[in-house]
Amino acid sequence: MNGQSSIWSLISTFGLMSLFAVGGAAAAVPEMHRIAVEVNHWMTDRQFTDAYAIAQLSPGPNVLIVTLIGYAVAGIPGALAATLAMCLPTALLAYYVSRLLNRPRESRWPGVIQAALVPLSIGLMAASALILAQSAERTIAALLLTTMVAVIASISRINPLWLLLAGGLLGFAGIV
């Protein structure tokens, strides 16, 4: 694929994907994995989980995993194209809808649609977790670390950044 056509393919892929990204970035991870790893072979499984880890560790919205995917496909222009394609169309849509519904509470449809999307986005996020876990290291130690973090984060209010850094330290020490 040459530079020009890969950038167009990034723009059309993420532009379309963003319109179906209900429940935010984590819910779109399965589709990103399907497109980037399974369909287009832009990245390996390992590169994809690495990209997810880097995006979680860095500041800013988690959706910026698309910046890393775009960079892997077409360098800096690809990174910018993927980021804008994923973020701008839906932001403009939100702008127009917010002007249409000045007071969202007046209509009951936003409430119904919002409630209807909740189970779907939880299902999608669970699918994200499954796909990422299948692409990551599958040693006993890695499984234990994932489980430990899941338990600690479920029962305490510790800042997630410390758990990510602890995971990095354990990896650095060669335990995972």
Q: Kindly tell me which of 8 and 50 has the beta carbon lying closer to another protein.
A: 50
Q: Does 13 bind another protein (CB under 8 A)?
A: no
d(CA 175, CA 67): 30
Q: Does 30 bind another protein (CB under 8 A)?
A: yes
Q: Does 36 bind another protein (CB under 8 A)?
A: no
Residue 136, helix vs strand vs coil: coil
Would the CA dihedral through 35, 39, 43, 45 be positive or negative?
positive
d(CA 119, CA 98): 24
Considering only residues 41, 105, 140, 157, which one is a binding residue for another protein as defined by CB under 8 A? 105
Q: Kindly tell me which of 8 and 23 has the beta carbon lying closer to another protein.
A: 23
| DSSP output for 81-97 | HHHHHHHHHHHHHHHHH
Q: Does 40 bind another protein (CB under 8 A)?
A: no
HSE-CB at 36 with a 13 A cutoff on CA atoms is 31
Q: Does 169 bind another protein (CB under 8 A)?
A: yes
Q: Kindly tell me which of 3 and 119 has the beta carbon lying closer to another protein.
A: 119
Q: Kindly tell me which of 1 and 168 has the beta carbon lying closer to another protein.
A: 168
